[in-house]
Amino acid sequence: MSGSSRLPFLDAEPWRVAVVSPTGRYARNQVAGMVAAGTQLVGGIALGRGGTEMDGLPLYDYIGELPQQPNIVVIYTPAEGVRAAIAECARAQVSTIVAAAEYVPVHDALAAAALAREAGSWLVGPNTLGIFVPGRGLLGSIAPSFCRQGRLAVIVRSGTVALALARQLTLAGIGQRIVAHIGGDSVIGRNPHEYLHALADDDATAAVLYCGEIGGDKEYALAEAARGFAKPVIAMVVGRHAPVQTQMGHAGALIGSARESAGAKMEALADAGCQVAKGLEEAVAMAAKLGLAAG
């Protein structure tokens, strides 16, 4: 199961979504947003509050107590509790796990990502706004009003850029298959190239738009996956003017060597056959030239 090459949240099976730690102010607002977007929630997990409810959402102490087994869990547990929450999801064989928290300790993120992978779960995040699938539902806090249904899969490392891209694409009449903020930390559950592999056989995806960041080497694995990819791949890397050894917002956005700079990554992506954009406006224009705008 750990070698899964599909995005389970795109399967035909109806979503059954549970929310871990839904009662905090931030989480409660996100739960309301998911409900408004039409996401089917089967319950919330709040230790010590089992048998009660929150805004009509029934609460349970543990995932195993839910009357319906969830196939998706969105986690709003604070950073220090993320590892345990993901471990519980992995034990319950939850196919998609979305971990919103930022500043998860690196050793916890490594352990949690390994547990999820071993269970065959697709872990999104940590440090993520989640995923929106137009026409289907919201997992997290991507703004549905910024999106429209279409055939471009948008895979992004930065939450702010994910929102900006979705908005600009929609204004240009270009719909999205998915808008996925995969996480801005150096350690995330699934890396960009895995999303690309998983979208290869998705008939509803006509092209992929990826936006990466400075720091790390994830874009090099994506470049290798893009070689010979049957669908157009538009790629951009933010942080072209970032100084070396200065962290730019995310834990993973830090240039430690020339290889981790935006310029080096963009060169590798171009060499792999990606259409490389220098900014959002150019990326949107490239998508329009692919004929992805609604007629």
Find how far residue 182's CA is from the centre of its chain: 3
- Annotated catalytic residue within 107, 193, 197, 250: 250
Catalytic, 250? Answer: yes
Find how far residue 236's CA is from the centre of its chain: 17
Tracing tokens 């929310």 back to the chain, one arrives at 19
Find how far residue 114's CA is from the centre of its chain: 17
118 vs 113: CA distance, rounded Å: 9
Those residues with Cβ within 8 angstroms of residue 39's Cβ, 6 or more apart along the chain or in another chain: 15, 17, 137, 138, 139
* Amino acid at site 41: L
Give the sign of the dihedral formed by CA 175, CA 181, CA 182, CA 184.
positive
Cis peptide leading into 243, omega within 30 of 0?
Answer: no
Which H or E element spans position 195? helix 192-199
Catalytic residue ranges: 250
